[in-house]
């Protein structure tokens, strides 16, 4: 690889440009007209406007991205996370254009991107899966018939996507048809696939994901788990490693299941295998696989001392993994997503201009961000401004470092979730790690400043 098109925006695009510089590669940034002042554009060696603000006409325009890469004489494409990162058609089109796709191959993306197929694949390997339907549905009536064999409450999930879109909890059969139609419509709008499948819904579980990596030489490893249980409407807010909920045996079994899955797939590059864990029974269940780097990957980097984005580039170039699964995981790390949202108004987006932006720094503190003072935050994209990641010898020290870092995080001009995280850290449930995936919605009341 010599020249890489970075097919994304924001923090992850900036990170990819920095890795290109580390490896001596040229970088080509793409940006929409709304991102003309984005820092990833300035940081790259070359930058091309890819289209208007709307994602479907810019960052989701696979044809334009591939054509731009070819026109700019690139030989690789880096998708990052979000947008087209898990789009198997984009990966295949990149390959057909003789571009190295810095991620898994299109077959793996397609197989794991279809949540029903992913469940079947895991189940065939003896990995426990959440009880649910054996197929997806586009008809509410057909899906309702299948629901009788699963029981309520049910979780409706888009077959072709994730990130909380196309998901609905159904508590009673009388609500099923209306909720199904809403989930299906949302799935169609988000993923161009209206199919929805059914899972049994567990009210108080933890969300655990295993970071995995494979290369073209038959090496398949895990880098431990991340606990992503602090969520709101299936959107992650805080992630940490190691999980404070797992015992050593469950942690081992979960990691071995994840590695067995990627070995069976002959999976190449970074990914995560996602589970829910029921503390009351001690059981875990596979829910899906994300065939990309995750937003929260810095948590694992802080615990293991690796650079996962750089490793994505190395592996895509045909090199062997530079690590195994023998890390000394004696440290802890927690990531807090700093979003342009107003938590006192049901996390309403808060675009605008950053009048002041002074992130904290210091030992055991890392801030990944594309934001800067006087940056105009556009309303068209994800609201994340930064990832504040803290590390320490144990979870308690991480929490203390986080309190200090958040108190020193200076931002004005728009509302962010800094205050939300400060209040979260004061809650005894968080301090004692007694949370679950619906804890924010059911128990956390945000107080206005």
Helix H or strand E encompassing 334: strand 332-339
Q: Which two tokens stand for residue 438?
A: 């619906």
Torsions phi, psi of 65, nearest 5?
Answer: -65, -45
CB 416 within 8 A of CB 340: yes
Whether 292 is a known active-site residue: answer yes
CA–CA–CA angle 416, 421, 427 (5° rounding): 150
Question: What helix, strand, coil percent values describe the chain, rounded to 5?
Answer: 35, 25, 40
Please report, for residues 26, 169, 189, 341, 367, the alpha-carbon distance to residue 270 in angstroms, rounded to integers and kept in the order given.
Answer: 22, 30, 27, 29, 22
Helix (H, G, I), strand (E, B) or coil at 335: strand
Q: Which two tokens stand for residue 330?
A: 């004696």
Question: Given 93, 292, 314, 337, which residue is catalytic?
Answer: 292
The number of beta carbons lying within 10 Å of the beta carbon of residue 104 is: 28
Closest CA to 47 of 23, 31, 71, 26: 31
The number of beta carbons lying within 10 Å of the beta carbon of residue 362 is: 11
DSSP letters, 96-118, are HTT-EESSS-HHHHHHHHSHHHH
Helix (H, G, I), strand (E, B) or coil at 398: helix
CA–CA–CA angle 115, 207, 224 (5° rounding): 95
CB 378 within 8 A of CB 354: no
Query: How far is the C-alpha of 354 from the C-alpha of 417, rounded, in Å?
Result: 14
Q: Which residues are catalytic?
A: 292
């Amino acid at each position: 690889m010599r020249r890489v098109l970075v097919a994304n925006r924001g923090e992850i695009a900036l990170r990819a440009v920095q890795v290109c510089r580390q490896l001596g590669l040229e970088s080509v940034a793409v940006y929409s007209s709304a991102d003309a002042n984005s820092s990833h554009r300035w940081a790259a060696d070359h930058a091309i406007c890819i289209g208007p603000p709307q994602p479907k006409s810019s960052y989701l325009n696979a044809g334009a991205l591939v054509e731009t890469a070819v026109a700019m004489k690139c030989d690789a494409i880096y998708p990052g996370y979000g947008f087209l990162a898990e789009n198997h058609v984009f990966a295949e089109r990149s390959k057909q254009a003789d571009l190295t796709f810095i991620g898994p191959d299109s077959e793996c993306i397609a197989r794991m991107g279809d949540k029903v197929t992913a469940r079947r694949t895991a189940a065939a390997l003896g990995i426990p899966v959440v009880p649910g339907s054996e197929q997806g549905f586009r008809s509410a009536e057909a899906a309702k018939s299948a629901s009788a064999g699963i029981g309520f409450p049910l979780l409706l999930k888009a077959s072709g996507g994730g990130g909380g879109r196309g998901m609905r909890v159904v508590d009673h059969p009388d609500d099923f048809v209306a909720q199904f139609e809403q989930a299906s419509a949302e799935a169609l709008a988000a993923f161009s696939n209206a199919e929805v499948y059914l899972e049994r819904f567990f009210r108080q579980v933890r969300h655990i994901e295993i970071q995995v990596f494979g290369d073209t030489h038959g090496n398949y490893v895990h880098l431990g788990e991340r606990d992503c249980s602090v969520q709101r409407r299936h959107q992650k807010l805080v992630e940490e490693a190691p999980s404070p909920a797992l015992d050593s045996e469950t942690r081992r079994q979960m990691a071995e299941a994840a590695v067995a899955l990627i070995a069976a797939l002959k999976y190449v590059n970074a990914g995560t295998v996602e589970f829910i864990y029921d503390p009351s029974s001690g059981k875990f269940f596979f829910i899906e696989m994300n065939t990309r780097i995750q937003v929260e990957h810095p948590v694992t980097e802080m615990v293991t001392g690796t650079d996962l984005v750089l490793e994505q580039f190395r592996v895509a170039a045909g090199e062997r993994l530079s690590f195994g699964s023998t890390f000394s995981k004696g440290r802890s790390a927690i990531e807090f997503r700093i979003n342009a949202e107003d938590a006192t108004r049901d996390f309403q987006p808060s675009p605008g201009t950053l009048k002041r932006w002074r992130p904290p720094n210091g030992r055991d503190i890392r801030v990944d961000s594309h934001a800067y003072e006087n940056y105009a935050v556009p309303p068209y994209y994800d609201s994340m401004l930064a990832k504040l990641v803290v590390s320490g010898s144990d979870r308690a020290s991480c929490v203390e470092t986080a309190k200090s870092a958040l108190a020193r995080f200076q931002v004005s001009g728009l509302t962010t979730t800094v205050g939300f995280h400060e209040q979260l850290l004061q809650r005894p449930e968080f301090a004692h790690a007694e949370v679950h995936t619906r804890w924010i919605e059911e128990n956390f009341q945000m107080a206005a400043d």
